[in-house]
Amino acid sequence: MDHTTPQTPVTPSSALLSSLHLDPFLHLSLLHLKKNLIHSPKSTPHTVESIKSAMLELGLTPKIRNLAYSLSCSEKDRKSTPEILQVEQARDDWKQSIYDELLSVCSERGVSIIGPDSAQNKKIRYIFDSEDLFDAIKRIPCSSNMNASLCHNYGLIKLRLSTPDHSALRTKFSELHPCNRQYGMDETFLGSSKFIQHRQEVGVKVLQESYVPISMQYARYGIPAGLRPEIYRVCLNLPRRIGAKEGEYYNSLREKAKNMRYNVVDELFEMDSQTIISNSMSFFPFLENITNVVLAFSRDSWVVQNSTYTAHESIKYEMSDGSTTSIPSSGVQPFKGFVNYIAPLSLVYEDEERIYFTFRGMYSRLWCKLNVISSDSGTLIHLCKTFEDLLLSWDPALFMHLLSVNVAPLSIAFTWIHLAFTNVLETEQLLLLWDRLVGYDDLLLLPVLSAAIFTFRSETLMCTSSAQEVKDILDNNSGRRLKVMPILQAALFGECFK
Amino acid sequence: MSSQRIKWKIEYEKSVICQNFDRKGYVRTEGDDWNIFWATVGTVKQIFNPDSSQRLTDNQVINHFPNHYELTRKDNLVKNIKRYIKEQQKEGKQVDDFLPVTYLLPSDYSLFVEEFRRYPNAMWIMKPSNAAQGKGIFIINKLQQIKKWSTGRFARDQQTYVVSRYIENPLLIGGKKFDLRIYVLITSFRPLRMYLGDGFARFCNVKYSSDVGEIDNPFMHLTNVSIQKHNEDYNYNHGGKWNVQNLRLYLESTRGLAATQKLFSDIDDLLVHSAKAVQNVMINDRHCFECYGYDLLLDDNLKPWLVEVNASPSLNATTQMDKEMKTTLIRDVLDIVVPEEFGSDYRGPNTQGPCRDQGDFVVLYDEAASNEKALREAELKAGQKEKKKAVRSWK
């Protein structure tokens, strides 16, 4: 529980009740329910059964079930250990440096963060990218009193964090065991049509239930492309099908973006989109959609209120009417490669609104953890350390060999983890990986897959004699042919890694 | 026969082809002693000209059929397919139309005008019968637009045109129109031996609009790379090309598995029907093979339409991905058309047994094999009836 306990104890049911009032749909439905029950034609007393069936008719049951589930999860999410001092310091420094960088770019261009932009043709530069984040993390010392003798380890992450070992991973990801049929493997074999059909039938039933934990369980075995759009939505506690309210909300965000432009911030998002998407072999048709989504995202204050972590600092700007506005409202500053998190969804959804809400859900649950400096388990630093520990235990000879040619393995794997493999895998494989990330609501497979790729290429890597050779072998382009599930299964459950 | 002795010849330097021949260890030649010749259609025409004294030997293969234009000239394609569909109907087999309503000009001019008046709001696309790369194509929605042209042009040159109903509801992705280029290898027409190769989608750079004011904008309507290249948004990284795997994934996600499977099965049917339509008019010389570039358009209802068939699809590689795909394509074509035993007793592809998948090519239609299979199934059924009879008679 939180260290700062409120006056009245917060029980699950009271939390549920207060949430019910906050959700307008539920509130209205409950009033409706009350009316129906009070004015029901039958004069029989109200039993639990009759209330249940009335709720079912109104479509309340799935909503309340999912609400209860998400409340129970958020209890677990609350931090139980205080932050490590030097990490907290690093996080503050990082947020500050982004803030300063943004302001300095503004002044370089002679514009304020909002307002008329006179310097339209001046070249603009990114305020930070993956490398900068990597540097910020590498710098964190292992102990606040800088006692170097305690800090010896072969990896770049000096912090002493406990990471899951092989048997813990095997247990956690038991659904991925080869004895279980799943997408990413079994649908490609001869005679797989029965499996495909079965999976389809189960998926349809799962969607009818629309219950978050069941959809997540289904996602762990990989999702057929036709069901992915809706399963992702349910896993993120969204209704299966998009409603008019969501559409209106999205349009209002787009209006906000059109009516009041953020200098520099908007330009950086647009530049990111322009550079990455228009050159991308897979996503170039969707340049406009993706740009719209990223700009709308920057106007959405829901993000900062609902993300598990706030990665960056917004700039507080005082408007002419005395009110302050945060720029950007989402609390997420632009950096090189951000649109990579959005792009794959353009092959999943036809319309922008649905791309938007799924992306927003995934960011607030998953991607924010990849961009925050924290020692919490499941966040970026911990994932990086997991990668290093895993590789060291799976293939120590390889690890040492790479160090001997001056390549720290994490220096290659960092962008894979930070950008969730969007810059490596071809889209179908990437989505099969994301199915598991969503299904487990956990990013642990990112370092696991990274270490698995290194061991997969171990023989070739052991023959290298220079850093450049290593980089060529592990070049992002070579990832285009990688198949995720066989590599993960071999690494997690293969006999050679006892 | 050792691959050292296989000789190849080519007319225009195409790195994709030369590299493949070199890798196989074939020897280049400029003379007539070639075993495999990657020629232009003009040269093939000369070789097969009745007045030519050249006779191909048993171990020579060439990359075009002498009268490929039955399939690859727009006017012939229309004639052959219309005839084929009628023939099939007479036999009680329904073949869905896969060519948009098309008329030949000037011969069908009055028929066209009748049809035009029936659908006054429709758009029509005019294409020269024998041009390529989008040259000379324009879209009309008023009869005056061709009346003007017709009075001037017909008088001057013999150029015939085809006018087709323009598909105004193309399937759009990211708001843009695209078409599909699919490679199909045919090594024999009687019986048909067809292999289905790789394909890609070619996107327009500009968002599509069926607005009448935009019919003159080639960047919105015509997907040919030769045209899109001139748009300022043209990107040299991907060249506006999307591989079929991306298309399939997108369609499965947005339209569902069943609709996507039906689309690809409809495409297969279309390809086979188009070949059957010209089966009996093609000169089925056993020295010939041809790798056609089929251009298809998908409409909003996921129905595939045949736009045209190219006898000499471009082998220029505009992007890295393009280069890889075309190199693999030619490699697979050579693996199929050059038999293992390529001696003086080679009697053509039909002596090589049933078609087999090769590399990225899958067998699309093997007429001989499927006829045999049907025959065997019929025999089996008959045999079972025989057996039953025998049992009864014994009793």
B324-374: per-residue pLDDT in tens? 899 999 999 999 999 888 887 888 899 888 999 999 999 999 999 999 999
Q: Are B257 and A225 in contact (CB < 8 Å)?
A: yes
- pLDDT tens, A443-472? 999 999 999 999 999 999 999 999 999 999
Q: Give the pLDDT band (50/70/90) at residue A3.
A: very low
Q: Are B253 and A348 in contact (CB < 8 Å)?
A: yes
Do B260 and B251 contact (CB within 8 A), yes or no?
yes
- pLDDT tens, A277-294? 999 999 999 999 999 999
* Tokens linked to B79: 């004639």
* Tokens linked to A31: 């009033």
Q: Least CB-CB distance to A279: which of B207, B237, B252? A: B237
The SS3 assignment for B126 reads strand
Continuous segment of H or E residues that includes residue A341? none
Give the distance between the most distant pair of CA atoms in chain A.
86
- pLDDT tens, A67-122? 888 777 766 565 566 778 889 999 999 999 999 999 888 888 888 888 777 656 56
Q: For the beta carbon of residue B41, count every other beta carbon within 10 angstroms.
A: 17
Cis ω on the peptide bond leading into residue A328 (within 30° of 0)? yes
Do A275 and A296 contact (CB within 8 A), yes or no?
no
Q: Are B242 and A278 in contact (CB < 8 Å)?
A: no
- Torsion angle in degrees (nearest 10) through CA of A448, A450, A452, A455: -140
Whether pLDDT at A148 is above 70 = no
pLDDT of residue A447: 97
- Chain B residue numbers with beta carbons less than 8 Å from the beta carbon of A281 are 237-238, 242-243, 321
pLDDT of residue A470: 94
Q: Are A288 and B237 in contact (CB < 8 Å)?
A: no
Contact status of B54 with chain A (Cβ, < 8 Å): no
Distances (CA, A) of B279 to B62, B104, B367: 19, 22, 11
Q: For the beta carbon of residue A377, count every other beta carbon within 10 angstroms.
A: 18
Q: Is the ipTM of this complex over 0.90?
A: no
Whether pLDDT at A238 is above 80 = yes
Q: Tell me the sheet residues that pair with B125.
A: B139, B164
Determine the distance in angstroms separating the CA of A384 from the nearest CA of chain B, rounded to an integer.
31
Q: Are B254 and A350 in contact (CB < 8 Å)?
A: yes
Nearest by Cα to A476 from A424, A408, A412: A424
Do B293 and B309 contact (CB within 8 A), yes or no?
yes
Nearest by Cα to B270 from B196, B362, B355: B196
Give the span between the Cα atoms of B293 and B297, in whole angstroms.
13
**pTM for the whole structure:** 0.88
Q: Taking residues A253-259, what's their average pLDDT?
A: 93
* Tokens linked to B129: 């019968």
Q: Least CB-CB distance to A428: which of B233, B249, B257? A: B249
Which positions of chain B have pLDDT values less than 50? 1, 155, 393-395
Q: Are B174 and A286 in contact (CB < 8 Å)?
A: yes
Contact status of B253 with chain A (Cβ, < 8 Å): yes
Contact status of B175 with chain A (Cβ, < 8 Å): yes
Cis ω on the peptide bond leading into residue A285 (within 30° of 0)? no
Nearest by Cα to B190 from B65, B340, B330, B335: B65
pLDDT of residue A6: 43
Do A317 and A113 contact (CB within 8 A), yes or no?
yes
Q: Are A285 and B242 in contact (CB < 8 Å)?
A: yes
Q: Least CB-CB distance to B173: which of A281, A285, A428? A: A285
pLDDT of residue B105: 84
The SS3 assignment for A326 reads strand
**Backbone CA torsion sign across A175, A179, A181, A184:** positive
